[in-house]
Structures are given as structure tokens and as C-alpha cells.
Amino acid sequence: MLKFTPVLGILVLIGSVVQVVLGYQVAGEAGNLVAVHILIGIIGLVLVAAFAAIAFKVRSATVYSKITMTVLALIVLVQVVTGFQLLSGAETLVLSHQANAFLIVILSLLTGGITFLSSKRHGQLKT
């Protein structure tokens, strides 16, 4: 299960970067990408929830990784909710949706770093 964790973390990071790019494309009137943006967002929520569940199941996970994964999961959930509110016409949420997107990328990087250092410290990652 531990070898799957870095792959899942990389998927979350790449997905969040792709989402930022797609989000700006959608905001720039590329309406045909909205469905793709929604789909990746929902898949991302599932991946982050799985990543958080793994962090709580693995004994070697540090308290820091558990906290960052929980915060990341909550922020992704808020991101999905605000995205659906934007679709409903709540234009005042655009700035917070964009800020959350960058926060998700930063937290994904932070979580990846914590996971890497934790696994290296516990000798589970061969370099």
C-alpha cells in the first residue's frame, strides 16, 4: 500500500495543476471544457479522500501528513462546492475559487514533501 501512496500523491498534484489551467480556460469563455473541469474535480475529491484515508491507516504516517491531508480534503470539498455554486450563478465566489485552487496546489506539494520525508525516515523508500 505504501508504494501506491507516492503515485496517488503525484496524481493529486498533477490533477490540481491541470485543474488550475482548465479553470482559467473555462473562465476565459471556453465553456466546452466545463464538463471536463467538473469531472476532474470530482475525481480529485475522491483521490484526496482516498489519500487521506491511507494517511490515517498507515502507522508510519506522521501527524503532519494526517493534518495536511485532512485540510487538503476539506479544501478540495469546499472547492467542489464553490464550483457548483459558480455554475449556479454565484459570480462573487470566483476569487475564492481561484485562491482555493492555488492553495490546493501548495498543499499537494507540502503533503508530497511530508510523505517523502516520512517514508525516507522510516526506510520505506529506497533512494
The pTM is what? Answer: 0.82
127: in domain: no
pLDDT of residue 124: 54
* CB proximity list for 45: less than 8 A, separation 6 or greater: 73, 76, 77, 80
126: in domain: no
User: Strands (DSSP E) along 1-127, which ranges?
Assistant: none
Residue-averaged pLDDT of the chain: 83
Place of cell 450563478: 89
pLDDT of residue 55: 80
Domain interval for residue 88: 4-121
Place of cell 455554486: 85
The answer to whether residue 127 scores a pLDDT higher than 70 is: no
Query: pLDDT tens-digit profile of 50-100?
Result: 888 888 887 777 788 788 889 999 999 999 999 999 888 888 888 999 999
CA distance 3 to 17: 23
Number of domains in the chain: 1
pLDDT of residue 1: 46
Query: What is the distance of C-alpha 69 from the center of its chain?
Result: 9
117: in domain: yes
Query: pLDDT tens-digit profile of 27-38?
Result: 887 778 888 999
3 pLDDT tier (thresholds 50, 70, 90):
low
